[in-house]
C-alpha cells in the first residue's frame, strides 16, 4: 500500500513540475544584411518575372503575383516593385546614386515613386557596355554606389544593392577571348539587402 502511495505521489509531483514549466518567449528575428544569390530573371525567356519577398528571403510563386506576398521582381534587366501598375501593394522606391550601402543608416523621407505605364520606379541601376572597344562587351554591370530604398507593400523599409547579373557573381566576369562576351550565364541576380521589420526608417 505504501509503495502504491509513493508511486502516486511521484507521479503527481512530476505532473505538477511539468505544468509549472514556463515556455520562454519567442526570440524576435534581428534585422541584418542578407545576400540573395543567383535569383533567376527569366532565364528561359518565358516573359515572366521572378517575384521575391524580402521578409524571409524567398521566391514567390507566379500564381501569387497579384497579391501583396512579394516586394520586388526581376525579368532580364527590368525590376518592378509591388505597387502602382505592377502589383496590388503600396510599394514605392527611390534609387540613390553615389551612396554607400553599408553606411546608409536611414531611409529617405521623400522621393519615392511607384511603377507606372510610363516608367518603372527602379531604373538606372546598371550600365550596358555594348560593343565596347575593350572587353567585357555586351555586359550588364551594376553601377557602383547605387542603392534602391524600398517602402514595401507591407509598410516596412529596406535597402537593396545589386551585386551581379551573372550566375555565381564572378569577379571579374569571365569572357570569351575572341568576342569579349561574358561566358558566365546572365540573368541571375545576386544582391544584398537590409530589411527593417519594425516599420521604422532605420536601415542599419
Report pLDDT digits (tens) over 155-175.
Answer: 999 999 999 999 999 999 999
Instruction: Locate 51 and state its grid cell.
Output: 517575384
Distance, CA of 203 to CA of 150 (rounded, Å): 11
Q: What is the pLDDT of residue 31?
A: 81
How confident is the model at residue 18, as a pLDDT?
A: 46
pLDDT at 153: 84
Provide the 10 A C-beta neighbour count for residue 84.
Answer: 20
Domain boundaries, the chain: 31-196
Peptide bond into 172 cis (omega under 30): yes
Residue 189: the pLDDT is 98
Q: Residue 192 and residue 149: Cα distance in Å, rounded? A: 12
Beta pairing class for 72-75 and 92-96: unpaired
Calpha distance 71→129 (Å, rounded): 29
Which residue positions in the chain have pLDDT lower than 50? 1, 5-9, 11-13, 15-22, 24-29
pLDDT (0 to 100) of residue 21: 47
Burial grade of 23 (CB within 10 A; 0-12, 13-18, 19 or more) = exposed
Amino acid at each position: 500500500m505504501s509503495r502504491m502511495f509513493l508511486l502516486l505521489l511521484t507521479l503527481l509531483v512530476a505532473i505538477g513540475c511539468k505544468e509549472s514549466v514556463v515556455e520562454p518567449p519567442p526570440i524576435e528575428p534581428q534585422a541584418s544584411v542578407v545576400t540573395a544569390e543567383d535569383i533567376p530573371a527569366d532565364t528561359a525567356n518565358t516573359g515572366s518575372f521572378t517575384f521575391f519577398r524580402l521578409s524571409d528571403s524567398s521566391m514567390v510563386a507566379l500564381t501569387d503575383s497579384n497579391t501583396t506576398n512579394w516586394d520586388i521582381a526581376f525579368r532580364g534587366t527590368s525590376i518592378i516593385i509591388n505597387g502602382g501598375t505592377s502589383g496590388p501593394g503600396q510599394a514605392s522606391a527611390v534609387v540613390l546614386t553615389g551612396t554607400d550601402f553599408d553606411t546608409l543608416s536611414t531611409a529617405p523621407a521623400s522621393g519615392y515613386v511607384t511603377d507606372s505605364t510610363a516608367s518603372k520606379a527602379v531604373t538606372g541601376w546598371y550600365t550596358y557596355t555594348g560593343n565596347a572597344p575593350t572587353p567585357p562587351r555586351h555586359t550588364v554591370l551594376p553601377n557602383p554606389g547605387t542603392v534602391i530604398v524600398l517602402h514595401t507593400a507591407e509598410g516596412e523599409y529596406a535597402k537593396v544593392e545589386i551585386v551581379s547579373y551573372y550566375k555565381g557573381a564572378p569577379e571579374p566576369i569571365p569572357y570569351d577571348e575572341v568576342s569579349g562576351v561574358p561566358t558566365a550565364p546572365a540573368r541571375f541576380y545576386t544582391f544584398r539587402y537590409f530589411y527593417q521589420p519594425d516599420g521604422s526608417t532605420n536601415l542599419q
